A and B are shown apart, each in its own frame.
Chain A
């Protein structure tokens, strides 16, 4: 079942078109940066973008930071929102469940396919970022400088970049879980996607308000940028561990709700 869903996901042209569009924005930013040589001023722009002009080896991180606030969650919400509701809208859900396949198994297979999409997307964005960074900018082969001003060897930089890729992928699981839950509640994939995006927009807005600071630690987008902490010296694990735990909680609770709803739902389409 899982293999079937994975094959279905990665055979769709739409999946690869989404990934390609995601990579277009970091490429455009890199070209503009190269042509104008205008790095964002301190405190402005995505993390690592101003440092890219000094060391192109940081471009995978800048690329992730560029797509992380909006484009990546939109892509994940579209794919996850489509997983159950898309089948229902196309009228194929009842035939899927007519086979000797449990609803829990179908939900798990859909979830695994979404997770695979998240991981592949993040890895491709980072990989394309690496190619852009090493071809368009001066990459320092010996490593670089941590955010705290200490030298990093290239092994340090590679290891921390891999951890950052993993962290960004995990950060997207909350979005996927929201979209998957909404996907079990409606027959409209667009509705499920928009529902997940509404949660993200609300979370991002609340995070900017001082008045919302008591609930800030529980907002799904609160710790997304904590991957920057992997490049401080010593590494600041505080927000990273909280980010992982928060995503785990959201995934656990939302999938439990999706399971409770989907396994008892009347399938009419």
Chain B
């Protein structure tokens, strides 16, 4: 009887030890140190920006917590920044790549080729072809750590950059680069970009707003293969039986540009200088650079009314004599309607105070016929 009792205890201890070892395994693997390298911040940025044409494939996940108060027409954009998005990517270059957003029951694939982009939606069996346009709404490929890292680092100045050690991302050693925006109007306190020590490819990007501890946006690779994918993997031909459509997004953007009232906007707002970008309708004012950007658009009344209703529904909305404004993470939006004049929409990665400061200068503007 005693022997049997010993046997039972030994078996239970063995099984307990096995379970404890298995439970501890993820923590042990996660604690493996990453090897750092003495690479200056400016050089690390240059290395990252030089990887635009590097071929690779992988699996990335982005998680955003930005509840953007937008109208129904832009719900797909809002979903991008508020949801968890899983992406498979095959990258042969900026003009030849494929990004599939995978969901449990289907997927939406974006195949970018020379001059045109195909979007495939499995659940509706729809293939949409859109011509390349300099001004496009945010899409899943823009959330890839490599794309977002390039975009955010491209306009950073050396004085805004610092090194922050190393960590392992997608099983590879990465070097940390911190971007701290210099502009007083910035709503982003820092952007941490984790750059592959071997190739310079950004593998993780975390965007943290002022006053927050956790990132408002975190996008990272979970798997990465540095072999250049085959051209047939990124190419797309609509399958038999699919509905084939022409994309209307470019026309929608152009139409929105046509509906903007012609207004002479100032050369500087909220301390941010005005800038020009290809494809932006002339009536829209863009200000700032890097991760601190502000857009001002004189919009028609019906659009402003819909947006004002969406903003007012937010419990954090601030309504005063200047207008209605709200911040969704680091992104701020505001509707301004000066007495006797048409409304404006202001939005960007700036603080609410900066938006109010910019709005305060709008009533002085003069309409041009």
- Mark A residues whose CB is within 8 Å of B: 42-43, 45-48, 50-51, 54, 65, 145, 147-151, 210, 218, 225, 228-229, 232, 234, 236, 238, 249, 253, 256-257, 259-261, 263-264
Give A249 to B15 CA distance when docked, in angstroms.
13
Is the pair B122, A149 in contact by a Cβ cutoff of 8 Å? yes
8 contacts between A and B (CB under 8 A): A42-B121, A43-B103, A145-B239, A149-B122, A149-B242, A228-B104, A236-B59, A260-B14
Q: Counting CB contacts under 8 A, is B268 at the interface? A: no
Contact A147/B122 with A54-B241, A253-B22 known, Cβ cut-off 8 Å: yes
How far is the CB of A54 from the nearest CB of chain B, in Å? 6
Residues of chain A within 8 A of B190, CB atoms compared: none
Q: Which of B106, B125, B242 has the most CB of A within 10 A?
A: B106
Give A232 to B59 CA distance when docked, in angstroms.
14
Q: Counting CB contacts under 8 A, is B267 at the interface? A: no
Give the interface SS of chain B, mostly helix, strand, loop or mixed.
mixed
Residues of chain A within 8 A of B4, CB atoms compared: 264
Is the pair B120, A47 in contact by a Cβ cutoff of 8 Å? no
Beyond contacts A50-B123, A145-B240, A148-B109: 16 other A-B pairs, Cβ-Cβ < 8 A, are: A43-B105, A46-B105, A47-B106, A65-B105, A145-B241, A147-B122, A149-B238, A150-B239, A228-B106, A232-B102, A253-B15, A253-B19, A259-B11, A260-B11, A260-B15, A263-B11
Which one, B7, B102, B109, B125, contacts A264 given CB within 8 A? B7
Is the pair A151, B18 in contact by a Cβ cutoff of 8 Å? no
Which one, A54, A148, A253, contacts B107 given CB within 8 A? A148
Q: Counting CB contacts under 8 A, is B12 at the interface? A: yes
Give A240 to B236 CA distance when docked, in angstroms.
25
Residues of B238-253 contacting chain A, CB below 8 A = 238-242
Is the pair A42, B106 in contact by a Cβ cutoff of 8 Å? yes
Mask: chain B, 197-238; 1 = CB below 8 Å from A; 0 = not: 000000000000000000000000011000000000100101
Is the pair A260, B123 in contact by a Cβ cutoff of 8 Å? no
Which one, A50, A150, A264, contacts B8 given CB within 8 A? A264
How far is the CB of A235 from the nearest CB of chain B, in Å? 11
Q: Which of B15, B124, B233 has the most CB of A within 10 A?
A: B15
Is the pair B102, A149 in contact by a Cβ cutoff of 8 Å? no
Contact A47/B238 with A147-B122, A264-B7 known, Cβ cut-off 8 Å: no
Residues of chain B within 8 A of A256, CB atoms compared: 14-15, 18
Residues of chain A within 8 A of B84, CB atoms compared: 210
Residues of chain A within 8 A of B122, CB atoms compared: 51, 145, 147-149
Mask: chain B, 264-296; 1 = CB below 8 Å from A; 0 = not: 000000000000000000000000000000000
Residues of chain A within 8 A of B121, CB atoms compared: 42
Residues of chain A within 8 A of B88, CB atoms compared: 232, 236
Question: Which partner residue on chain B sits nearest A55 by CB separation?
Answer: B241
Give A253 to B106 CA distance when docked, in angstroms.
33
Residues of chain B within 8 A of A228, CB atoms compared: 104-106
Residues of chain A within 8 A of B223, CB atoms compared: 238
Question: Which partner residue on chain B sits nearest A45 by CB separation?
Answer: B105
Residues of chain A within 8 A of B18, CB atoms compared: 253, 256
Residues of chain A within 8 A of B107, CB atoms compared: 147-148, 232
Residues of chain B within 8 A of A43, CB atoms compared: 103, 105-106, 123
Is the pair A257, B15 in contact by a Cβ cutoff of 8 Å? yes
Residues of chain B within 8 A of A147, CB atoms compared: 106-107, 122
Which one, A65, A210, A260, contacts B12 given CB within 8 A? A260
